């Protein structure tokens, strides 16, 4: 119990020092279930230079004070504060929580205390279960956050072979692993208890749901591909080939690889083949002084910009970004919600889609809809998570075109702050971005975007269907197109229902499956004020259909003539609770001589 733990300074424990310089000295878990943090510190301990950067100022150590910094991705900045060296200890005088395997080496305990101060207390850092948390974060996600918290670098999940991967499928992950270590990145791996490899891994001494540091990976003479790894001190160690007491060790290899037979230090050797067979995920952190280009934007899905996923007509309302890629390139996308330790909330499913820009002269305008899967370049399906991080290789964009990046929450109307990050290597190391990434704003202020107007109404005044008595008395919307010199212009008109319940039904509880109301939309080109019950020959109609919205595309005279839009609700549909919105997008200005609004027929 935390209230029974007595805080003591290092003098109460005897030998106390900040760092132990012995390479490979790891950490032990304490009584607090915060493996996501102590595991991250255990990984960082493989690189003392990175660990030392956490301490901004240690010059007052003899007086028991340190200046510590932690990286907060949600704030995109360092949190810096002063802590003292009075640490919670057990009855035996040892730190009650995370601590070094060997006496001394107080740095991890001090960083843990700093994190407790930042999050409010030690208990706030504890997870509810080893498999995951009530806030929706899984262990791998917490590991990524923990690594970023203590390094300030960008953590990412590496490509990892499946449990049934063929031998040739192991090559690319090995090359990526070696590349990370050769560029001074911090690397770790886990075996999740939910993975197919978990049962066999446990038999061989691997502890599931724990983070293991990868210290070394390379071709070791006749031994082949070997890796040196480290778990927590005192935990079981790998018991297969190349374990501490394995007969495969020769005197020459022991000397060359600084072989240690300490069964309690958490460190062991393992072949790469066994590593791929018994671990399920791997992560790497790029130190913040490494050369890369990072684009980061903070935004919020709210009100109209909470458009939902691509299957919803309101998807177009999500924030969009233009991405220009001059050559084939690999990028890492990261989409994250606020840290639940600082801003607890429910976790909505979120996803990300990269689509091709509009063709031709519309290339720099917002995407309004997707007509087919061929327009999707890359997609991350919605997941119940607080953090999506994926890497992909995108082909070069042709001159005058781009990609459009759209992050989203799956359900329209779901609101949350979010951070979108794109990470890409700076090939020339010249500090000049190799890609172009910018928001696609609406007009105004972006004069390159669509001209658009929006009007709303109620289906109670639009209940008659085309060619039936009363259709000419439906509420309708009129607009004009103005183009210098006259001629024609393209318009895209969207009708969407905005009064349906959250379960997508007109009345909650009446249906056992989602059912949208039946709606339709009619465009009457050059109709002026003449709206009759029967449709003229040039009328353009969409629907009727059971859907959340409809589109009409048309090319219309742009000489100031009045065009009319008439929405309607299908027969037998309840209308008292439903409203609609009609949005007109045009390549030319929408005339305002009569304004754009809801016109009510005279009684």
What band does 268 get if pLDDT is binned at 50, 70 and 90? very high
More confident residue, 516 or 290: 516
More confident residue, 103 or 321: 321
Q: What would the DSSP string read from start to end of 179-217?
A: HHHHTT-EEEEE--TTSTTHHHHHHTTPPTT-EEEEEEE
pLDDT higher than threshold 90 for residue 541:
yes
Q: Which residues contact 445 (CB under 8 A, 6 or more apart)?
A: none
pLDDT higher than threshold 80 for residue 175:
yes
pLDDT of residue 166: 86
**Weakest mean pLDDT among 339-348, 421-430, 543-552, 591-600:** 591-600
User: Which domains are assigned to the chain?
Assistant: 2-148 (no CATH), 154-286 (3.90.70.10), 292-439 (2.60.120.380), 451-599 (2.60.120.380)
What band does 384 get if pLDDT is binned at 50, 70 and 90? confident
pLDDT of residue 137: 55
In angstroms, the CA 351 to CA 337 distance is 12
Report which of 535, 564, 529, 567 is spatially closest to residue 551, judged by C-alpha positions: 567
In angstroms, the CA 385 to CA 411 distance is 14
- Pairing, β 476-482 against β 598-599: antiparallel
pLDDT higher than threshold 90 for residue 203:
yes
Cα 523 off chain centre by: 40
pLDDT of residue 598: 46
What band does 134 get if pLDDT is binned at 50, 70 and 90? very low
What band does 22 get if pLDDT is binned at 50, 70 and 90? very low
In angstroms, the CA 53 to CA 94 distance is 25
pLDDT digits (tens, 9 = 90+) for 327-373: 888 888 989 888 766 555 676 789 999 999 999 999 999 999 988 88
pLDDT higher than threshold 50 for residue 470:
yes
More confident residue, 126 or 186: 186
298 neighbors 389 (Cβ within 8 angstroms): no
pLDDT of residue 115: 92
Give the mean model confidence (pLDDT) for residues 277-294: 81
Q: What would the DSSP string read from start to end of 303-319?
A: GGG----TTSGGGGGS-
What band does 502 get if pLDDT is binned at 50, 70 and 90? very low
pLDDT of residue 554: 96
pLDDT of residue 603: 36
479 neighbors 556 (Cβ within 8 angstroms): no
Residue 149, classed as helix, strand or coil, is helix
According to DSSP, the residues that pair with 156 across neighbouring strands are 284
More confident residue, 366 or 384: 366
Distances, alpha carbon 202 to alpha carbons 163, 262, 275, 279, in Å: 15, 20, 13, 10
**Phi and psi at residue 529, in whole multiples of 5°?**
-105, 10
pLDDT of residue 111: 92
pLDDT higher than threshold 60 for residue 24:
no
Give the mean model confidence (pLDDT) for residues 417-426: 85
Please give the mean pLDDT across all residues of the chain: 83
Q: Which residues contact 484 (CB under 8 A, 6 or more apart)?
A: none
Report which of 410, 567, 578, 414 is spatially closest to residue 500, judged by C-alpha positions: 578
Local structure of residue 598 (DSSP, 8 states): E
376 neighbors 353 (Cβ within 8 angstroms): yes
Whether the link from the prior residue into 202 is cis, omega within 30° of 0, is no
pLDDT of residue 430: 62
Give the mean model confidence (pLDDT) for residues 479-505: 80
In angstroms, the CA 337 to CA 319 distance is 15
pLDDT of residue 595: 41
In angstroms, the CA 497 to CA 568 distance is 11
pLDDT of residue 205: 94
pLDDT of residue 50: 84
According to DSSP, the residues that pair with 598 across neighbouring strands are 477
pLDDT higher than threshold 80 for residue 72:
yes
pLDDT higher than threshold 70 for residue 514:
no
Q: What percent of the chain has pLDDT over 70?
A: 84
**Residue 466: both structure tokens together:** 């085309």
* Lookup result for tokens 């889609």: 353
């Amino acid at each position: 119990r935390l209230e029974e733990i007595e805080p003591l300074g290092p003098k109460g424990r005897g030998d106390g020092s900040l760092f132990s310089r012995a390479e490979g000295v790891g950490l032990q878990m304490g009584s607090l279930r915060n493996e996501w943090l102590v595991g991250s510190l255990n990984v960082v301990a493989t690189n003392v230079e990175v660990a030392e950067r956490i301490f901004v100022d240690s010059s007052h150590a003899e007086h028991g004070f340190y200046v510590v910094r932690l990286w907060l991705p949600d704030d995109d900045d360092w949190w810096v504060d002063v802590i003292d060296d009075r640490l919670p200890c057990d009855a035996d005088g040892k730190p009650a929580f995370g601590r070094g395997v060997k006496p001394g080496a107080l740095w991890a305990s001090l960083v843990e205390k700093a994190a407790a101060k930042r999050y409010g207390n030690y208990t706030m850092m504890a997870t509810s279960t080893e498999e995951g948390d009530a806030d929706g974060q899984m262990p791998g996600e917490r590991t990524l956050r923990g690594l970023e918290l203590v390094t300030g670098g960008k953590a990412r999940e590496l490509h990892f072979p499946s449990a049934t991967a063929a031998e040739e499928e192991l090559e690319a992950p090995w090359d990526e692993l070696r590349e990370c270590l050769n560029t001074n990145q911090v690397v770790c791996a886990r075996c999740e208890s939910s993975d197919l490899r978990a049962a066999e891994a446990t038999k061989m001494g691997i502890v599931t749901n724990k983070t293991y540091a990868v210290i070394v990976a390379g071709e070791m003479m006749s031994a082949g591909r070997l890796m040196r790894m480290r778990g927590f001190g005192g935990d079981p160690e790998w018991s297969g080939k190349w374990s501490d007491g394995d007969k495969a060790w020769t005197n020459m290899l022991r000397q060359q690889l600084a072989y240690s037979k300490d069964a309690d230090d958490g460190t062991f050797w393992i072949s790469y083949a066994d590593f791929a067979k018994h671990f399920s995920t791997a992560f790497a952190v790029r130190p913040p002084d490494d050369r890369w280009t990072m684009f980061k934007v903070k935004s919020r899905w709210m009100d109209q910009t909470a458009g939902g996923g691509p299957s919803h007509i309101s998807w177009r309302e999500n924030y969009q970004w233009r991405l220009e890629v001059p050559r084939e390139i690999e990028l890492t996308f990261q989409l994250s919600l606020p840290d639940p330790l600082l801003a607890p909330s429910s976790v909505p499913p979120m996803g990300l889609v990269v689509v091709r820009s509009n063709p031709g002269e519309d290339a720099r305008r917002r995407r309004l809809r997707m007509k087919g899967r061929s327009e999707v370049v890359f997609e991350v399906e919605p997941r119940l998570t607080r953090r999506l991080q994926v890497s992909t290789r995108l082909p070069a964009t042709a001159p005058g075109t781009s990609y459009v990046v759209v992050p989203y929450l799956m359900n329209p109307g779901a609101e949350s702050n979010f951070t979108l990050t794109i990470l890409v290597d700076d090939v020339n190391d010249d500090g000049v971005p190799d890609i172009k990434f910018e928001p696609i704003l609406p007009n105004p202020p972006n004069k390159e975007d669509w001209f658009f107007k929006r009007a709303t109404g109620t289906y109670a005044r639009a209940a008659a269907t085309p060619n039936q008595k009363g259709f000419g008395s439906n509420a309708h919307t009129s607009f004009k197109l103005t183009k210098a010199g006259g001629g024609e212009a393209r318009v895209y008109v969207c009708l969407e229902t905005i009064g349906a319940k959250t379960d997508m039904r007109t009345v909650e509880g009446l249906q056992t499956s989602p059912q949208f109301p039946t709606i339709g939309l009619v465009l009457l080109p050059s109709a002026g004020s003449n709206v009759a019950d029967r449709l003229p020959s040039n009328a353009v109609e969409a629907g009727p259909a059971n859907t959340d919205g409809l589109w009409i595309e048309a090319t219309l005279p742009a000489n100031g003539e009045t065009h009319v839009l008439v929405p309607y609700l299908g027969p037998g549909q309840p209308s008292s609770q439903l409203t609609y919105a009609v949005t007109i997008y045009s390549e030319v200005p929408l005339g305002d001589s009569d304004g754009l609004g809801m016109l009510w027929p005279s009684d």
